[in-house]
């Protein structure tokens, strides 16, 4: 899978993309991630990526020309499944959407900034808009990091058995059960007896019960309740 990220602040993404599972996925050649500095696609001497919004409201807007240039360049090199704009008014991001994106070959993630991007970008260049939640960030970079992280770990071969995504929350419509590790007793606080019983069938049953109980209590909407 290839992910191209367009941003005015690539520095903001270097660390989130350069560690742990995402780094390993790139090293293994399972995922390629490229950061594109929007400024490199400007033509004026000041390398201007933004301008004042038309109308009475204060605020800067990312200009259409450099965004058009970088997207056209990338599209000239390969076919993209989606050109995604991160936006608070986009489609709410879910594990289901992460699963869907993880099956794609090539995607572009466009990060907005300031007041956002010139709306013509959204009308003519973007194919999908994603929001990571009902709040407003200063830029799309952190949203892109969230999307990339959650997608990359689902790409086949990225996770090992120990970190398998299958038992994670939402994957089967339920929240994950509680997890514990050694020591079995600390400070008088005990790990549930069943987990140290060695009876895997009973443990699985307990885990499922816990998942259902936690989902019902914490996120009843997932059960349609």
The answer to the question of residue 115 lying near ligand SAH (CB under 6 A) is yes
Omega cis (within 30) before 183: yes
Structure tokens at 182: 């050694």
Q: Is 5 exposed, middle or buried (0-12, 13-18, 19+ CB in 10 A)?
A: buried
Phi-psi sector, 170: left (phi>0), alpha (psi -120 to 50), beta:
left
**CB of 110 within 8 A of CB of 143?**
no
Residue 66 interacts with ligand SAH (CB under 6 A)? no
The interface with ligand SAH within residues 79-98 (CB under 6 A) comprises 86-89
- By CB under 6 A, residue 5 contacts ligand SAH: no
The yes or no reply on residue 133 touching ligand SAH (CB under 6 A) is: yes
100 binds ligand SAH (CB under 6 A): no
Piece in contact with ligand SAH (CB under 6 A), picked from 16-24, 30-38, 109-117, 189-197: 109-117
Assess 63 for contact with ligand SAH (CB under 6 A).
no
Q: How many residues bind ligand SAH (CB under 6 A)?
A: 18
Instruction: Give Cα separations from 104 to 154, 185, 215 (angstroms).
Output: 11, 45, 30
Kindly tell me which residue out of 15, 79, 135, 200 binds ligand SAH, with binding defined by CB under 6 A: 135
Q: Which residues are near ligand SAH by CB under 6 A?
A: 86-89, 111-113, 115-116, 131-133, 135-137, 139-140, 143
């Amino acid at each position: 899978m290839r992910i191209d990220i367009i941003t005015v602040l690539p520095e903001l993404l270097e660390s989130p993309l350069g560690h742990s599972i995402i780094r390993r996925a790139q090293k293994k050649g399972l995922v390629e991630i490229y950061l594109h500095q929007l400024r490199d696609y400007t033509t004026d001497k000041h390398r201007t990526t933004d301008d004042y919004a038309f109308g009475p409201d204060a605020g800067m807007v990312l200009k259409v020309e450099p965004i058009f240039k970088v997207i056209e360049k990338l599209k000239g090199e390969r076919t993209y499944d989606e050109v995604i704009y991160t936006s608070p008014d986009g489609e709410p991001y879910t594990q289901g959407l992460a699963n869907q994106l993880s099956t794609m070959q090539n995607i572009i993630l466009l990060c907005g900034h300031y007041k956002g991007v010139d709306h013509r970008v959204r009308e003519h260049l973007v194919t999908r808009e994603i929001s990571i939640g009902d709040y407003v960030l200063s830029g799309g970079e952190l949203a892109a990091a969230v999307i990339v992280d959650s997608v990359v770990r689902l790409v086949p071969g990225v996770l090992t058995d120990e970190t398998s995504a299958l038992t994670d929350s939402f994957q089967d419509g339920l929240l994950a059960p509680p997890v514990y590790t050694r020591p079995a007793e600390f400070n008088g606080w005990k790990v549930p007896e069943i987990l140290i019983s060695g009876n895997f069938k009973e443990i699985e049953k307990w885990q499922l019960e816990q998942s259902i109980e936690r989902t019902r209590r914490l996120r009843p909407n997932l059960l349609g309740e």
